[in-house]
Structure 1
């Protein structure tokens, strides 16, 4: 049996803020919008969002309301210009969690958070 990552769904509070962050600021291409559910092309994996209420309705899972600061995952976006992306986000008022820095293995990495507090890594390609 072979598995591959098809999509990731983030549950969010405000689709307008979410679309501004991922579409306008990060420049991802909107793939589709279906009520409270949206999808972005990111290469081979689709990044999706749904409102918390919409997610509960579709899945019957106990998706909590409100911002959660105990994140246990991050989304990574690869670019050759980490400082440029971070500066664009800073100017737009996005919270910068870690300024761009070069890691011992040579990769430049920075962290920001999206409107719902999800950790977003902005990094250069590996190797």
Structure 2
């Protein structure tokens, strides 16, 4: 068994599409009106349609903020500026996390937490450029030293 996609229930699929397709610039795969899938394995599903299909409309939806969707970006500053300029509510601007990776977080229109991070390979290469050894990088990032060495190549 393998994960095929992650479906996020959204209150307003048009508004969410503007955020995910327009602001985050995810590449759309298929649009069926109440369901929109992206090439990255994420999909948006209009909440009322999803609840009707799954529960016959009897289940009450919870609020967002119960999970985090994580995306990678090789141009974090540019992506943060675009997302910030869009009016999305920023949780935290670009900052280094305790494990060394640089990320920013915002809320999507339904208050799901969106993290955009540099790829860990970029984190490792940034630490190598700063003169850290594989062992030091491993201690900081918790990435095993042999994987640090593979990422450095």
* Global fold match (TM > 0.5): yes
Structure 2 gaps, min length 5:
122-153
Cα RMSD for the two superposed structures: 1.6
Higher relative contact order (CA 8 A, sep 6+): 1
- Among residues 81, 89, 98, which one is paired with 1:87 in the alignment? 81
- The number of residues matched between the two structures is 119
> 1:111 and 1:104 mapped to 2: Cα distance?
15
Give the helix-richer structure, 1 or 2: 2
> 2:33 and 2:87 mapped to 1: Cα distance?
27
Q: Which residue of 1 aligns with 2:15?
A: 17
TM-score computed with the length of structure 1 as normaliser: 0.86
Structure 1 gaps, min length 5:
none
Q: Which residue of 2 aligns with 1:29?
A: 27
| Residue 56, structure 1, aligned to residue 54, structure 2 | no
The structure number with the bigger radius of gyration is: 2
- Where do 4+ consecutive residues of structure 1 move more than 6 Å? none
Give the strand-richer structure, 1 or 2: 1
